[in-house]
Amino acid sequence: MVKTHFSGLNPVVVRAITNLHYRYSDEIPKMWCSHIHVPFKKFLEYNPTYFSKNAYIHMTDRLYEDGKFRPGRPTFYIYCTACDSLVFICENTKKCADKHLNKCIAKIEKRRVAYYRSIL
């Protein structure tokens, strides 16, 4: 997951990353993913000191109540940069999202090793 300790990082970047994980009530998960995946990957790419290349961002509902936007509940969706896709997780927990990310990284590494063995 994106780390939450941002000391030394530009406050504008911190606010932008914080706002990326919110999904508005009129958006379906695929719409949310389509508008956040490019900026999220750029944040990871341009700030390697703070972020890993392989990460995920958890989608959170954003509610409009009493004339103000308020954070809602976390959803069962994450956007994973390792597999570059919107993923439905079985449990709404950090542990389940971390497990998915680790599986994706392991698959990528396994493919890379198989490729290198085939060319050697």
pLDDT digits (tens, 9 = 90+) for 35-87: 888 888 888 888 887 777 888 888 888 777 787 777 777 889 999 988 889 99
Q: Are strands 68-80 and 56-65 parallel, antiparallel or unpaired?
A: antiparallel
> Which residue, among 101, 85, 106, 2, has the nearest Cα to 37 in the 3D structure?
85
pLDDT value of position 103 = 93
| Average pLDDT for the chain | 83
Classify the phi-psi angles of 35: left when phi > 0, otherwise alpha if psi is within -120 to 50, otherwise beta.
alpha
DSSP 25: T
Residue 2 lies in a domain: no
Q: How many domains does the chain have?
A: 1
Residue 72 lies in a domain: yes
Give 18-46 pLDDT, tens digit per residue.
Answer: 788 888 777 888 888 888 888 888 888 88
Residue 6 lies in a domain: no
Residue 89 lies in a domain: yes
pLDDT band of residue 4 (cuts 50, 70, 90) is low
**Residue 54 sits in which domain range?**
11-119
Give 87-113 pLDDT, tens digit per residue.
Answer: 999 888 889 999 999 999 999 999 999
